[in-house]
Structure 1
Amino acid sequence: MSVLDDIVAGVRIDLARRESETPLRDLRAALADVDAPLDPMPHFSAPGSSVIAEVKRSSPSKGHLADIPDPADLAVAYARGGAAAISVLTEERRFKGSLDDAVRAAVDVPILRKDFIVESYQLVEARAAGADLALLIVAALDDDTLRRLHDEARELGLTVLVEVHDEEETERAVALGASLIGVNARNLKTLAVDHTTFSRLAPLVPDDRVKVAESGINSTDDVAGFVADGARVVLVGEALVKDGDPEQAVRSMTGVGL
């Protein structure tokens, strides 16, 4: 079993528990009280780099990264630094996240629910928690499920970040019509990082799609390199949660151009 398979197996167990506690009909009823989703695409499409700043306590590859007693405080710092969106990792077992980490009430920038989404229920959860974007990982989904979840997310008003790791997955994301495609340099099956992944896959993504660089981003120089290779957005977690001044760290990575 690959690392990704193991994570998804755990996600399904935790999902079944939440479904038993809160039926889907109750989640859908809660949507009536949620504000309309924010659209991140104008910011993502603007000149210069946009930063998706991540609330991330732990990872399978690095273990514990940072104590984050109040995700809302960190989100506020990210927003002050100019983050175009804030990613909140909600996977429980490997990333130590939770839907309780929702930061919607603290900031007025778009929020990404970053998780291993495999069922419609998780999309409704995301919207009910105030998320504006949701992550779909191509490696975790067959084509029919990927397309169904992509369409359902859009019907809910969510912007979809479709994540790829290799050429075949990139072709699938492009054929899907995804407007926001993230290239993750970390192989979720082995956790190895290949820093050439973005430069190799970005040319396969049409220029009318927004390209997001994920993983291996630690400095402004890294951001500049990804921008030179075609990225409009960078998703940064570890470097920000470990930085003593996350506000300034986001600011330094924002607006980087060619």
Structure 2
Amino acid sequence: MKKIILIFSAGLLAYACTTVPLTGRRSLAVISNEEIQPLVNEEYKKAIAAEKNLTKTSNGQMVVKVGQKMAKAVESYLVSEGYQDLVNDFAWEFNLLESDQINAWCMPGGKVAFYTGILPITKDEAGIAVVMGHEIAHAVASHARERMSNGMLLNGLLGGASAAMGQNPTMMQQILLQGVGAGSQLGMLSFSRKHELEADEMGLIFMAMAGYDPRQAPAFWQRMAAAGGGAPPEFLSTHPGPDRRIERLNANMPKALQYYKK
């Protein structure tokens, strides 16, 4: 019986995988973005309602401007590379929320939030583009879906979200909430270092595609590191160290500059 289960699991892993755009990494996907989205929409509304929304201010409109510009460039690239189905999953939304937290996040489907606490570090549109590219990359790479898929597999919940709900609805609900980082007012999860570095690499290229100089990214992370003081900002707390990030960004810079047109 154990051998049959192992064979079945191996077959599932081989079948339920997708390719991450740009990096080509294979990721587990036993749940679809379509199944995730209703919960995401609900939790995004809660998160937006929990803080004062400053999206209509001049800073808020700058965040929206950068987000829309980058989303358009990223979608154009994805369509050209044959990822139309992935593009269909996006319903981009950008909001600026009043909070001292030095943070920003993006839920699946392109639900983005910036906190005012990060704006003194981003400084301008290029700085916002560094953060926006990183967060958009999490959505494009379907990192939350991958995390949920791993959680389902580890808990023996196979056959998609609907079937898993029938097997163990309580466990499945917990996996879904953890996967999108829900269950708190902030609502965003801490991705693995693998996901963070992948989002850095993709985000660097995404900002270049949108016409923002990717060479501004290392400078942003230097400012972010300096802002930490005794304790790292939320945006750095569970992430790779800034020195490593800057090193990796510089290593990927030649690739990003190929997409950059002034």
Q: TM-score, normalised by structure 1?
A: 0.23
Tell which structure's C-alpha radius of gyration is larger: 2
By relative contact order (CA 8 Å, sep 6+), the higher-ranking structure is 1
Larger relative helix fraction: 2
Q: TM-score, normalised by structure 2?
A: 0.23
